[in-house]
Structure 1
Amino acid sequence: MADGRPDLIFIAGPTASGKSALALSLAEKLGGTVVNADSMQVYRDLHILSSRPSAEDEARAPHLLYGHVDAAEPYSAARYRADVETLLREPSGRPLIFAGGTGLYFEALIQGLSTTPEIEPEVREFWRAQARDAPALHAELARRDPDMAARLRPSDTQRIVRALEVIDSTGISLARWQEQAGTPLIDPAAAAKFVLTVDRTALRERIAGRFAGMVENGALEEIRALGERNLAPSLPAMKAIGVVPLLAHLRGGLGRDEAIAHSITQTRQYAKRQETWFRNRLGDWAHLPSEAILAKF
């Protein structure tokens, strides 16, 4: 910490709340570097649809861990933690400003990740081969591991498959494995921690305006290119908000306006879930609007 200013700043918040703009303002003010903490902004193929910082923004301050992963790769909180660990081993002398809406990424840094077992390749291959039928997988999980099934949405293929892999390999619920304490990468006391708050009505309007802007700025062309890769629908990048409705439009299944409306509704629902998560899990962070956070520095 130099001159009383923290070397690490965490900014969580719901989608479209202005986290990236706030992080950039802080980076310019403090001579800092912005570090991504959003699970979709890591993907190279989703520049527009994930609302990644523009080239102009990246020219104003260094940005790290944005667009460094191919959509064919299932990026995870564990891999994110490893990427951040690499950054911390090579200090730049600049404050690091972590900004994003993926709460699990922040938890991976300040609480650590629970220890989970290695899965035999045969078991992993078997369950991932079933990944196209999420409802059937969820029903099987409910039969074998009702605790984990109750925690997961029937459409959350990636996590359902993971839970089945673990119960099949070990006979122990993933819920029990997750109860084991992890090792923090960052001391929570070493970071200034904020949740960015926005008026609910204003946020709904921002979400609609931002998505309309994405479409105007090339989101359909971006999703067309992604669709042409014929990637597995179970991959995280293929489940990013807006991908499924826009692909359905491009393939003739939805009208353009309907696809946009579906995407906006999904984004608003996601923002509501994020706000609930942040209240429940990051209740000891400072929950403030943008101007109040900036004023602290």
Structure 2
Amino acid sequence: MAGKRAVLIAGPTASGKSALALELAQATGGIVINADSMQVYRDLHVITARPSAAEEARVPHRLYGHVDAAVNCSAGRWVTDAAAAFSEARAQSRLPIFTGGSGLYFKALTRGLSAVPPVPAAIRQGIRARLERDGVEALHAELSERDPDSAGRLKPRDRSRIARALEVIEATGRSLNDWHRDGLPPLLPPGQFSAVFLAPERDALYARIDARFDAMLAAGALDEVARLGARQLDPLLPAMKAHGVPALLAHLRGEITLAQAAQIARADTRHYAKRQFTWFRHQLPEFEWVEPEQAREWLARRLD
């Protein structure tokens, strides 16, 4: 790893990223730093397949379950937390190993991030209340008038992104496009990291996704989601949209059977995996794609 400051391990959900990161951290004395946007939430342990307590005890793990589900952990918040974890690893002469499947987090890490300031809670709540009262079409029409560039890029029924774009322009008087032009520098510039994307064969991956959801149910995912639902949080919060959560909440409300909820959750997760393949291929070409079975050899060559 001469000249490299970090290792980045990405890949679709259920591709074996966490196990590989744990193995590398044990071999090098490194620190595993989470780069998965759902595993940051403490309320979502089983349903997001976070590392177990025993696994976390084997090597230092950072940024797992450190954010409450009532908080929207933006990419900006994550980068700030990641910078602190990175500094801790460097101060201890440990190899930082970032692992996860959230492309936006890795892009922020290696390309930098727009400098959008925090949106006041009152503005966010006002936009969300209007979304519920007037509907997403009305807010998209307003966005078309106030920020036509953003409105043109968004699907008219993309509730979360339309609300976000309106929040930013309401809070700052500037569009998201304007803020994106005034970005923050990357934590890891080019040449200072080795990056791998685990690319398993699709049918095998989908079989693993299906089997893993069954294992989540056996491990208590339904009870975990029930506790989350009892908090009555804003359904637009990221934690409330984690794969499997909406379907299991629908089951708990008596709207669908558990078998139907599981079928929906498996399908949603498979579709997400497809999007991960596409996103990394087009957005982060610096990641080298390898089959999971070849990943250890790939890492060994770069650790020499």
Return the TM-score normalized by structure 1: 0.91
Query: Quick one: distance in 2 between partners of 1:120 and 1:185?
Result: 26
State the alpha-carbon separation in 2 of the partners of residues 42 and 264 from structure 1. 21
Decide whether aligned partners of structure 1 residues 156 and 280 sit closer, same or farther in structure 2, where only a CA change above 3 A counts.
same
Please, which moves more after superposition, 137-146 or 206-215?
Answer: 137-146
- Residue 287 of structure 1: SS of its match in structure 2? strand
Matched, 1:270 2:268: no
Matched, 1:256 2:258: yes
Decide whether aligned partners of structure 1 residues 58 and 50 sit closer, same or farther in structure 2, where only a CA change above 3 A counts: same
Residue 6 (structure 2) aligns with = 8
CA distance in 2, matches of 1:111, 1:221: 39
Say which of 65, 68, 76 aligns to 2:66. 68
* CA positional deviation for 1:125: 4.2
1:43 is paired with a residue of what secondary structure?
A: coil
- Cα distance in 1, alignment partners of residues 241 and 158 from structure 2: 9
Show the counterpart of 1:106.
Answer: 106
Equivalence for 1:227: 229
Q: More displaced, 151-160 or 174-183?
A: 151-160
Given that residues 30 and 94 in structure 2 are in contact (C-alpha distance below 8 angstroms), is that contact kept between their aligned partners in structure 1? yes
Question: How is 1:14-25 mapped onto 2 (pairs within 5 angstroms)?
Answer: 14-25=12-23
| Deviation at residue 134 of structure 1 after TM alignment | 3.9
CA displacement 1:184-225 (0-9 Å, x = unmatched) = 122231111111111111111111111111111100000010
The CA deviation string for residues 161-180 of structure 1, in whole angstroms up to 9 with x for no partner, is 22012333555431233233
Q: Greater CA deviation, 21-30 or 261-270?
A: 21-30
Partners in 2 of 1:227 and 1:263 — Cα distance? 16
Specify the alignment match of 1:83 in structure 2.
81
**What amino acid maps onto 1:94 in structure 2?**
R
With the length of structure 2 as denominator, give the TM-score of the two structures.
Answer: 0.89
SS in 2 for 1:52: coil
Q: Tell me if structure 2 keeps the 8 A contact 1:158–1:236.
A: no
Q: Distance in 2 between matches of 1:50 and 1:86?
A: 23
Q: CA deviation at 1:122?
A: 5.5
Q: Helix, strand or coil for the counterpart of 1:44?
A: coil
The CA distance in 2 between the partners of 1:202 and 1:120, in whole Å, is 45
Q: CA deviation at 1:119?
A: 4.9
Describe the SS at the equivalent of 2:226: helix
Which stretch has the larger CA shift, 84-93 or 35-44? 84-93
* Displacement after TM superposition at 1:283 (Å): 1.2
Structure 1 residue 10 displacement after superposition: 0.3
RMSD: 2.1
1:135 shift after superposition: 4.7
Find the aligned partners of 1:93 and 1:131 in 2 and give their Cα distance. Answer: 48
Residues 231, 25 of structure 1: alpha-carbon distance in 2 compared, 3 angstrom cutoff: same
Instruction: Choose which of 281, 285, 288 in structure 2 pairs with 1:286.
Output: 288
| Contact 1:131–1:234 (CA under 8 A) maintained in structure 2 | no
SS of corresponding position for 1:75: coil
Which residue is 1:49 aligned to?
47
What is the Cα deviation at residue 87 of structure 1?
2.0
| 1:155 positional shift | 5.4
Greater shift in the superposed pair: 109-118 or 243-252: 109-118
Of 183, 186, 192, the residue aligned with 1:184 is: 186
Shift, 1:114, TM fit = 1.4
Which residue of structure 2 lines up, in the alignment, with residue 27 of structure 1? 25
Amino acid at match of 2:162: I
Letter in 1 for 2:26: E
- Aligned counterparts of 2:119 and 2:19: Cα–Cα separation in 1: 41
Aligned residues: 295
- Cα distance between partner residues in 2 of 1:101 and 1:284: 15
Q: Which runs of 5 or more structure 2 residues have no equivalent in the other structure?
A: none
Asked if the contact 1:7–1:94 (Cα under 8 Å) also holds between the matched residues in 2, the reply is: no
Distance 2:257 2:121 in 1: 42
Q: Which moved more, 1:151-160 or 1:189-198?
A: 151-160
AA aligned to 2:102 is T
In 2: Cα distance, 1:45 partner to 1:117 partner = 26
Unaligned runs of 5+ in 1: none
The one of 200, 204, 210 equivalent to 1:208 is: 210
Cα pair distance change 1:259/1:282, threshold 3 Å: same
Q: Which deviates more from structure 2 when the two are superposed, residues 9-18 or residues 142-151?
A: 142-151
Q: Look up the equivalent residue of 2:230 and give its one-letter code.
A: E
Secondary structure of 2:116's counterpart equals coil
Mapping of residues 127-138 of structure 1, within 5 Å: 127-132=127-132, 133-138=135-140
Q: Take 2:217 and 2:162, find their aligned partners in 1: how far apart are those partners?
A: 32
